Amino acid sequence: MLSWGVTVAVRGQGRQLMNGNGILDRQNGRSVPPLMASASPVFPHVPFDPADPPTELSAFDALGLTCPNYTSMAGRVLFSWLFGGDHIRRIKSWCSDSPASAAFQRVCELLSAPPSDAAQWGAGATVFDVKRPDGKGHDRLVVLGSEAMGEGHMAVIVLRESRVRIYATESAPRDKMYATVMRILGDELGTMVWHHDRNWLSSLEVSPNTSRCTIM
């Protein structure tokens, strides 16, 4: 499992991310995420796997977020630790309030693309999803390891309805990251994110007033 054996630093002390069935969330401490006994209605197209079942994040988030499997939950928690430290830097952020724009619609397409679509994400990519119970909030982490970014490097593309963030370990000029972003996001959205990024307040919550795309 992704999180087994991982140690994180808490107030200068190393603590195991996993301890039995409990996982250490960066903001809310250690808790045991509820596992679902059947396929989640929030992810109707994801087959139920009893060895990797849909997992709720109610213990970590008042919105009651749901992941399609335990692996996505562990990935989300693990990368919240990485994003909060010095392991990987946010290098680009972009958002749009124009649902009719091609870039906005491209984000919708990427959120609805199957996580296993190798043609879309490329070799060395792993996709982690999380949604609100009403299906109106969807975060997707596209994690790119050394196979995609080169030995010793990694990158994460965070997709949310109308928003994109990019984290990377590669130093400037980040040619490898640029090529990967353009391949995955497409020319129009990739250009907007890379050349017209703007800062926005980072949050894992989705505002009720946020423009949304419809995920089928």
Give 22-69 pLDDT, tens digit per residue. 888 877 778 888 899 999 998 988 999 999 999 987 655 555 789 999
What per-residue confidence (pLDDT) applies to 202?
Answer: 35
| Residue whose tokens read 């997709």 | 159
What per-residue confidence (pLDDT) applies to 10?
Answer: 76
Burial (CB < 10 A; 0-12, 13-18, 19+), residue 200, is exposed
Cα 53 to Cα 21: distance, rounded to the nearest angstrom? 14
Task: Look up residue 96 and give its DSSP letter.
Answer: -
- Order of strands, edge to edge, in the sheet holding 125-131? 55-56, 66-67, 125-131, 138-144, 155-160, 163-168, 89-95
What per-residue confidence (pLDDT) applies to 156?
Answer: 96
Chain segment 122-138, per-residue pLDDT in tens: 988 999 999 987 767 89
**Dihedral sign, CA of 133, 63, 142, 73?**
negative
**Dihedral sign, CA of 52, 80, 180, 164?**
positive
pTM of this structure: 0.82
Chain segment 91-112, per-residue pLDDT in tens: 999 999 889 999 999 999 999 9
Confidence of residue 4 (pLDDT cuts 50, 70, 90): low
Q: Mention every residue, 6+ apart, whose C-beta is less than 8 A from residue 118.
A: 125
Mean pLDDT of 153-160: 94
- C-alpha distance across the termini of the chain, in Å: 29
Q: Is the separation of the CB atoms in 165 and 152 below 8 Å?
A: no
